[in-house]
């Protein structure tokens, strides 16, 4: 698996194999904790070669700086099939997440793995700035 794009964004769509992104980000600034981010998407675009054909397991783990999960993992069984005479196939994956909750500020990550092997990660910094009085 060759990850071409792995990003957190406000929204994403797949239109006839084209990955469309809106509002990519890697930091959230808040004046209130816990923080509940109303909605975002994890967008992933990856290519697969011949040796990867067959049934695979794609997994997204949402972890804090200590490697502890802060929400349940997302598991997606996928089937990789190359068209005849193709050297690779590209697939887009979009995961929309509602009410993403952060208890504390710090560094978080979305770790992306295929068949148990980490392929990419998306860092996210949650920055707390108390309201000015």
User: How is the chain split into domains, by residue range?
Assistant: 2-128
CATH no. of 2-128: 2.60.40.2550
Distance from C-alpha of 13 to C-alpha of 2, rounded to nearest angstrom? 20
Q: What is the pLDDT of residues 60-80, one digit of tens each?
A: 999 999 999 999 999 999 999
| DSSP output for 26-77 | SEEEESSSSEEEEEEEEEEEEEEEGGG-EEEEEEEEEEETTS-EEEEEEEEE
The answer to whether the peptide bond before residue 60 is cis (omega within 30 degrees of 0) is no
> Does residue 131 surpass a pLDDT of 90?
no
pTM comes to 0.92
């Amino acid at each position: 698996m060759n990850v071409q794009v792995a990003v957190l964004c406000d929204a994403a769509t797949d239109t006839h194999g084209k990955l469309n992104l809106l509002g990519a980000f890697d930091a959230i600034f808040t004046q209130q904790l816990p923080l509940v981010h109303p909605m975002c998407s994890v967008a992933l675009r990856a290519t697969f070669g011949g040796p990867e054909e067959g049934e695979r397991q794609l997994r997204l783990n949402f972890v804090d700086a200590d490697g502890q999960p802060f929400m349940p993992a997302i598991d997606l069984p996928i089937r990789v099939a190359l068209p005849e005479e193709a050297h690779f196939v590209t697939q887009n994956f979009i995961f929309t997440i509602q009410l993403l909750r952060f208890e504390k500020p710090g560094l978080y990550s979305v770790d992306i793995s295929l068949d148990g092997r980490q392929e990419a990660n998306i860092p996210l910094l949650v920055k707390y700035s108390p309201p000015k009085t």
